[in-house]
Amino acid sequence: MTLSTTIITISFSFLLSVILAPIVIPYLRRMKFGQSIREEGPESHQKKAGTPTMGGIIFLISIIVSTLVISFYFDKLTTQTIVLLIILVGFGLIGFLDDFIKVVLKRNLGLTSIQKLIGQIIVSVIAYFLLKLGPFDTTVGIPFTELDIPLGQLYVAFLIFWLVGFSNAVNLSDGLDGLVSGTASVSFATFGVLALAYEQTDIAIFAFSVSGALLGFLLFNKNPAKVFMGDTGSLALGGALAMVSILVKQELLLLLVGIIFVIETLSVILQVISFKTTGKRIFKMSPIHHHFELSGWTETKIVTVFWAIGFIAAMIVVILEVL
């Protein structure tokens, strides 16, 4: 896969999102798929009520079409490609059901955490057994070394934990206009570069398709957002990102590539532990992006800083792993 092919892949998925968005957004608005804002959230977010959500459909379609078209063209449609699409669609459907229950059926909590977890585990196990049909490495690589940790039969537990964990981490991070779409685009592009370096063209095609589709979506999701991705998009992106890290055998490297998602999740965990044990809160509100909002930062400033942190982390990974 050459540089020109990479650019074509990103451009194709980008254009698909740009073309689909003006079609899908008015439809979501007509169907009254508007975002409801939690009363306990920052007061500044109340003005976002009614903004069309479930917009993840836009980039999910773009990713699927782009991945299949480019993979077929270069004869790179593999079992790994199918697994990535299964994770993307499977987790996306779970998110869609959650959004549909909240937005259409007006049940604010959507799916219960147990229902989500069961769905995520089922999709993860299906993906695992598909991978086991061929040669599949059940070790976990240690970043920036030649060492790895053999897990054997325990790898399925790790895979489920990794997919579910990062799916929910990206979901938690999706609270500001453009935050996840921009950050995730960089994360997927980083793994695309790694996949190219490891001569895994099939995975690179998928990763760059996601990156391009998200950049196209970002044009409509940046502040002030015309559409939100909803759980439909965020759960799908988190699961797919975790699976990409698994397939390039750089699972733990995702902790750095996806550092924003890790920080956001840790802020929630620390907040809960602190409140339950001491009755005090560490942050004004969690996830941590809300803490900065309540500290006086503008939404645009927070998103820009978080993008920058994600980009710097990505550059560190590329420099140390590829260059």
d(CA 321, CA 323): 6
Largest separation between any pair of C-alpha atoms in the chain: 59
d(CA 190, CA 185): 9
d(CA 19, CA 13): 10
Tell whether residue 98 is among the known ligand binding residues: no
Decide: helix, strand or coil at residue 88: helix
How far, in whole angstroms, is CA 126 from its chain's centroid? 20
**Torsion, Cα of 283, 284, 285, 289 (10° steps):** -80
Q: Which of 164, 92, 159 is nearest to 132 (CA)?
A: 159
d(CA 1, CA 76): 10
Residue appearing with tokens 């453009």: 178
∠ CA 274-277-279 to the nearest 5 degrees? 70
Tell whether residue 171 is among the known ligand binding residues: yes
Residue appearing with tokens 């690179």: 204
Tokens linked to 8: 């074509």
d(CA 180, CA 234): 8
Known binding-site residue numbers: 171, 231
Known binding-site residue numbers for Mg(2+): 171, 231
